[in-house]
Amino acid sequence: MKPALLAFALALATSHAAEPVTLKLWPQGAPEKAGFKSEPEAEIKREKDDGVKRLGNVSDPTITVYPADKPNGTAVIVCPGGGYSILAIEHEGTQVCDYLRTLGVTPVLLKYRVPRRDPADPSREPLQDAQRAIGILRHRAAEFGIQPDRIGILGFSAGGHLTVMAALHANERTYTQDDTLDVADATPNFAIPIYPAYLTEKGNDYQLTPLVQVTAKSPPLCLVHAHDDRLSASASALLYLEYKKLNLPCELHIYGSGGHGFGMKDSGLPVSAWHVRVGEWMRSMKWIN
């Protein structure tokens, strides 16, 4: 057996007993614009507890790789939402990872940089983090019992926007690459935007922004949104239509109600089963055996 295949087989056999592994994305420090000053990372609390755990002031981004229950070689990077201001690290982060583990998927929690550095380009630094995360996972795939051509990305709201940017702008780098950490092609193998934000023009819910450019090389997509979301579901519908124009694999779920930010919360509405539908889509696409 070839060394790489042997390492992969050993990882599959032992990962169920492994502990989560957290890796710095930028061992020498994340690239920041001159003059940027970071604040201490901390949980952001509100006077009235709404059950959302918010992580703020992330300047040392990481990925945490969680072992799947019965790993099948597929990994999914999970991007919490939070308006590029904070990370809703639990109901759009760790709880999603817990569910993916039950599917045999290796979840990877992306703790990307917040708050936004540039209001005019809020996804710039988070996209750098996502691109680097995919590079690291492809370099170290055998170590984590995953396959480098079975790495997807899933995100909520701003994290959904980041998911779309990572899918459509994977190889547009705004940082100096490191061959030991980055890969030439950082395109995820599939993407799952959940109520993605910021995809349409301000003031016009029926026009995608110029950044949303689908090409023949864009990865398969599964979109989830609620009809009554304050961030209009038209964004997901329009993105689906761009995929349809090119006959690319894409699935769209728009639920009648659910609002914004439902994540893994159980409202008792059909939207609360979105993760089951996503699992079915992944199975139909052969990302889950």
pLDDT tens column, 255-276: 999 999 999 999 999 999 999 9
- The pLDDT of residue 18 is above 90: no
Would you say residue 118 has pLDDT above 50? yes
Distance CA(202)–CA(81), nearest Å, equals 19
What pTM value is reported for the model? 0.93
Residue 230's pLDDT band (cuts 50, 70, 90): very high
Checking if the pLDDT of 13 tops 60, the result is no
Instruction: Please indicate, yes or no, if residue 289 is contained in any of the structural domains.
Output: no
pLDDT confidence of residue 72: 96
Residue 75 is part of a domain; what is its CATH number? 3.40.50.1820
Specify if 257 maps to a domain: yes
* 54 domain-assigned: yes
For the stretch 130-144, pLDDT in tens is 999 999 999 999 999
In a domain, 212, yes or no: yes
Rounded to the nearest integer, the mean pLDDT of the chain is 94
Find the domain containing 228 and state its range. 3-32+46-284
Percent of the chain with pLDDT over 90: 89
CB 161 within 8 A of CB 197: yes
pLDDT by residue (tens digit) across 140-187?
A: 999 999 999 999 999 999 999 999 999 999 999 999 999 999 999 999
97 in a structural domain: yes
181 contacts 221 by C-beta, under 8 angstroms: no
Provide the token pair at 159.
Answer: 């994290």
Give me the pLDDT at residue 141, please: 98
Angle at 197 between CA 196 and CA 201, to 5 degrees: 125
Whether 14 shows a pLDDT value over 90: the answer reads no
Give helix 158-168 / helix 124-139 axis angle, nearest 10°. 60
| Least confident stretch, 2-6, 31-35, 56-60, 88-92 | 2-6
Residue 8 banded pLDDT, cuts 50, 70, 90: very low
Total domains present in the chain: 1
Is residue 37 in a domain?
no
pLDDT single digits (tens) 187-226: 999 999 999 999 999 999 999 999 999 999 999 999 999 9
- Give the CA distances from residue 60 to residues 12, 22, 34, in Å, rounded to whole numbers and listed in that order: 29, 12, 16
41 located within any domain: no
Residue 70 lies in a domain: yes
